[in-house]
A and B are shown apart, each in its own frame.
Chain A
């Protein structure tokens, strides 16, 4: 399935874009998505606690994804 991802903060830099499409097997979970992204963009792994929101809700690693989901990557931000 094709997933649409929106990235914020430094994740936008690492992905090189604010909106990215990624192809994953059916029934993939948030953990699978993170693994796939980290393989393609190893710097993402260094963020350690990259949060993922699915349909405006913070998503645990084991949450299954569907192609209609709105996925947002939320990296830590420190600026003030």
Chain B
């Protein structure tokens, strides 16, 4: 045994002692890689066990920050981490646990534009996300890149687990999320953890099972949960292992706008003529979100808050009064509309579609609105 082998044995000896695992299994793990989408309740044990087991490279995608309400189940984080980016804290903890590990932190959300690039370097993907658009995105990105999607989801005392798009014994790709649920549920009909609640230990159980599946896929040991959906109700410990066939016609040719597809985030917007009519009828406030330097040219009479300052200056607006937001082309203001609706509970907000450029093209005067 050389020095490297000795230190490997010291650290991983208890799993290398498993006859099917051995030195070969450990070597496969150390050369293996996985991307974990969502470093929350499922992602915490998943990442922790994969790092501890000696996986060579781990990617962490999560754009959220740690909140106090996460701490009962997201065991990667401690009270002092509240407010910090999860991906960064997680990377720190995992490096401290296992310095041999290569960790890539992606402290932003996976989306249709970045998903394929982010997935590319990893052998296996694990889905620990907490919303339907991301689950369909991860599934479809795995289909397009030919990677297995180790899926887990939790609800109160229940959990689900499967390996989607895995290579089965005959060398064919197994069923995927779209074979189980071809269509997403209508927006708002299935509550998430925040709305429905979840027992803290449930993602601990399911996330650990996901880690086991990742290890099995990478080492080739055992039979991964391909073509089967495992259901657990921990309240009475009833479980089912459902056989899942491939359907016809679930192939995917490109990534789409998953939020729109799931009926979420259709950003409310109105083209100039409609916006003009609506704003007058609703007695709406107008908000110019451009930078001061952009305003020199022209503007509509309106409140003016550069959108970068929106979070700190939002109190200058009345959340109960209808609001029309605009910028030069309507892109930045679209994001602001989403932010006002999601984070600041504005009652009725619209984006001026196409922004001031479209307004001017439509031939409307620049001095008519009132703030």
Contacts and interface: CB of A to CB of B under 8 A. Distances in A.
Contacts of A72: 231, 240, 242
A79 B130 contact: yes
A37 interface: no
Contacts of B190: 9-10, 47, 75-78
A35 B239 CA distance: 26
Contacts of B189: 10, 43, 46-47
A32 to B, nearest CB: 20
Contact of A9 (B130, B131, B155): B155
A8 B180 CA distance: 14
Contacts of A46: 185-186, 189
Nearest to B38: A80
A40 interface: no
A23 B254 CA distance: 44
Interface residues of A, number: 23
B229 interface: yes
B296 interface: no
B196 to A, nearest CB: 7
Contacts of A76: 132, 181, 184-185, 190
B155 A56 contact: no
B193 interface: yes
Contact of A80 (B129, B158, B185): B129
B186 A77 contact: no
B16 to A, nearest CB: 31
Contact of A77 (B43, B154, B245): B154
Interface of B: 38, 40-43, 127-132, 135, 152-155, 158, 160, 179-186, 189-193, 196, 198, 203, 229, 231, 233, 238, 240-245
Counting from the closest, the 7 A-B pairs by CB-CB distance are A49-B181, A80-B130, A79-B193, A77-B153, A46-B186, A46-B189, A53-B242
